[in-house]
Amino acid sequence: MPEGLELATFRKQMLAWFRQFQRDLPWRRTKDPYRIWLSEIMLQQTRVAAAIPYYEKFLQRFPDVHTLAAAPQDEVLRLWSGLGYYSRARNLQKAAQQIVAKRGGEFPTRLEDALLLPGIGNYTAAAILSIAFGGKQAVLDGNVARVLARLGAIRGELRESKNWQTLQKNADRLLDPESPGDWNQAMMELGATLCTPRSPRCLLCPVAQFCEGRKLGIAESLPEKRKERATVEVALAAAVFTDRKGCTLLLPPPKNIMEKAAADHVPSLVSRMWHFPTLPVNSDPAVSLAAFLRKIMPEVPNREWRLVPAKNVRHAVTYRAITVSPFLLTVENLPRVRGAKQVPLGDLSSLPVSSLTRKVSRAALAAAASVPGGR
Ligand code: SF4
């Protein structure tokens, strides 16, 4: 790691490179902590190109922390719909409400206060405070950790607490105190554009002469692989009702702890948003689903529906590999289920739904098109 005069050169080269070559991103044109915060939350699990349209649409509807705090949660989730990891949106709104209620709408400028907000950890707090207010906090996430590991030829699993502490110390030491916001963004930009997980483009790197990993010829093999958590296969069956108007039935997310506990056996990305009646299955999905529907619709007469299988849907969430078997149930009138809503099967956008639910609806629509007399 560079020290003394070398450190000054290192910082100068990094910042000069960033200021010349940085990508033009919407959140880089502002110092508004609300906008920077929103971008950091969206980017936690989402690629830049995918986040940009969501970011812009979200800000059109919620241009500031006050409008976000006052909005119905359903609407916030609807605008997040498709980005996944919906706890990010819930926490964002909770934090906005706290900022409005306790701080008159002003984002905290002290690290310890920012860390008290839901959904804001060390990385996000450091990013917002340094970019919006010039706070001297160095960011450290997976991208920055990879750059630091290569620069310092640090071996072993980076998330191990001893290694992570070393990385944080290195990040703090390298941070340019004159321009902490640009510095942090430069480190993130280097990790995102040149010092990428595979095939780092060292020939274009502004700090290649300081990189120990490169000197040793091991840059590409760093960080060393961590042991993967074994993939868990999850099988679900979903009921997609459709009536003669092409409407379908979606169940609401659970409202309280009891309902959440009951829904726990279905992966949360299905049950925490509006969803088709869904259950985990071990054996024949059609038989299990029919029994499940009879159970959740006790008041509905004549429950001998014909279940037409649609093409299975595959979806991966962290270590879970999910296979959903959707079944189409064509009915005259949709059954009445307490709390459920009826929406067009071809357009679920009026409710917050997960991308898995959208995949299921597409599979059901394709099946409906191929069923004689189907819709
Ligand atoms: Fe990454 Fe290569 Fe630059 Fe080292 S020289 S920091 S490995 S891009």
What CATH code is carried by the domain that includes residue 333? 3.90.79.10
Residue 230 pLDDT = 84
> Could you tell me if 200 and 238 lie in one domain?
no
Q: How many whole angstroms from 182 Cα to the centroid of ligand 1?
A: 19
Mutation test of ligand 1: which of 18, 144, 195 has the most ligand atoms closer than 8 Å to its C-beta?
Answer: 195
Nearest atom in ligand 1 to 207's CA: 3
Q: How many whole angstroms from 214 Cα to the centroid of ligand 1?
A: 6
> Could you tell me if 176 and 262 lie in one domain?
no
Where is pLDDT greater, at 255 or 309?
Answer: 309
Least confident of 179-183, 254-258, 346-350: 254-258
| Domain-embedded: residue 19 | yes
Q: What are the pLDDT digits (tens) for 30-60?
A: 999 999 999 999 999 899 999 999 999 999 9
Where is pLDDT greater, at 171 or 304?
Answer: 171
Q: How many CA atoms lie within 13 A of 262 on its CB side?
A: 9
pLDDT of 20 above 90: yes
What confidence tier does 109 reach under pLDDT thresholds 50, 70, 90? very high
Percentage of the chain beyond pLDDT 90 is 75
Annotated catalytic, 40? Answer: yes
pLDDT of 65 above 90: yes
3-state secondary structure the chain: CCCHHHHHHHHHHHHHHHHHHCCCCHHHHCCCHHHHHHHHHHHCCCCHHHHHHHHHHHHHHCCCHHHHHHCCHHHHHHHHCCCCCCHHHHHHHHHHHHHHHHHCCCCCCCHHHHCCCCCCCHHHHHHHHHHHHCCCCCCCCHHHHHHHHHHCCCCCCCCCHHHHHHHHHHHHHHCCCCCHHHHHHHHHHHHHHCCCCCCCCHHHCCCHHHCHHHHCCCHHHCCCCCCCCCCEEEEEEEEEEECCCCEEEEECCCCCHHHHHHHCCCCHHHHCCEECCEEECCCCHHHHHHHHHHHHCCCCCCCCCCCEECCCEEEEECCEEEEEEEEEEECCCCCCCCCCEEEECCCCCCCCECHHHHHHHHHHHHHHHHCCCCC
Count Cβ atoms below 10 Å from residue 282 Cβ, excluding itself: 7
Residue 212 pLDDT = 96
Specify the residue with its C-alpha closest to ligand 1, atom 4.
211
| Domain-embedded: residue 227 | no
What confidence tier does 254 reach under pLDDT thresholds 50, 70, 90? confident
Least confident of 1-10, 97-106, 111-120: 1-10
Average pLDDT, the chain: 91
Percentage of the chain beyond pLDDT 70 is 94
> Could you tell me if 215 and 237 lie in one domain?
no
Contact by Cβ (8 Å): 274, 263: no
Q: How many whole angstroms from 228 Cα to the centroid of ligand 1?
A: 25
Catalytic residue among 40, 112, 299, 332: 40
pLDDT of 340 above 80: yes
Per the structure, how many domains does the chain have?
Answer: 2
> Could you tell me if 119 and 241 lie in one domain?
no
The C-alpha atoms of residue 290 and residue 239 are separated, in whole angstroms, by: 9
Where is pLDDT greater, at 18 or 283?
Answer: 18
Mutation test of ligand 1: which of 13, 205, 222 has the most ligand atoms closer than 8 Å to its C-beta?
Answer: 205
Q: How many whole angstroms from 215 Cα to the centroid of ligand 1?
A: 10
Q: How many whole angstroms from 19 Cα to the centroid of ligand 1?
A: 18
> Could you tell me if 206 and 249 lie in one domain?
no
Q: How many whole angstroms from 199 Cα to the centroid of ligand 1?
A: 10
> Could you tell me if 294 and 172 lie in one domain?
no
Q: How many CA atoms lie within 13 A of 6 on its CB side?
A: 9
> Could you tell me if 163 and 17 lie in one domain?
yes
> Could you tell me if 20 and 167 lie in one domain?
yes
Average pLDDT over residues 358-365: 95
Q: Indicate which CATH number applies to the domain containing 156.
A: 1.10.340.30
For residue 315, the cross-strand partners are 322
Q: 251 vs 126, 241, 281, CA distance in Å?
A: 39, 12, 18
What confidence tier does 261 reach under pLDDT thresholds 50, 70, 90? very low
Average pLDDT over residues 159-185: 95
Q: How many whole angstroms from 137 Cα to the centroid of ligand 1?
A: 23
> Residue 264: which domain range?
232-370
Nearest atom in ligand 1 to 206's CA: 3
Rg (CA), the chain: 25
| Domain-embedded: residue 332 | yes
Residue 257 pLDDT = 46
Q: End of a domain among 199, 221, 243?
A: 221
Nearest atom in ligand 1 to 219's CA: 7
> Could you tell me if 246 and 204 lie in one domain?
no
Q: What are the pLDDT digits (tens) for 287-299?
A: 999 988 988 887 7
Query: Which residues form the pocket of ligand 1, taking CB atoms under 6 Å from any ligand atom?
Result: 147, 150-151, 194-195, 200, 202, 205, 207-208, 211, 213-214, 219
Where is pLDDT greater, at 280 or 60?
Answer: 60
The C-alpha atoms of residue 294 and residue 304 are separated, in whole angstroms, by: 9
The C-alpha atoms of residue 235 and residue 231 are separated, in whole angstroms, by: 13
Contact by Cβ (8 Å): 81, 353: yes
Q: What are the pLDDT digits (tens) for 190-212?
A: 999 999 999 999 999 999 999 99
φ and ψ at 265, to 5 degrees?
A: -75, -10
Average pLDDT over residues 89-105: 97
pLDDT of 271 above 80: no
| Domain-embedded: residue 192 | yes
Where is pLDDT greater, at 175 or 162?
Answer: 175
User: What's the pTM?
Assistant: 0.71
> Could you tell me if 169 and 316 lie in one domain?
no
Specify the residue with its C-alpha closest to ligand 1, atom 1.
195
Specify the residue with its C-alpha closest to ligand 1, atom 5.
208
> Could you tell me if 153 and 301 lie in one domain?
no
> Could you tell me if 202 and 245 lie in one domain?
no
Nearest atom in ligand 1 to 200's CA: 8
Mutation test of ligand 1: which of 147, 193, 196 has the most ligand atoms closer than 8 Å to its C-beta?
Answer: 147
What confidence tier does 304 reach under pLDDT thresholds 50, 70, 90? confident
Q: End of a domain among 163, 193, 221?
A: 221
Q: End of a domain among 221, 248, 274?
A: 221
| Domain-embedded: residue 375 | no
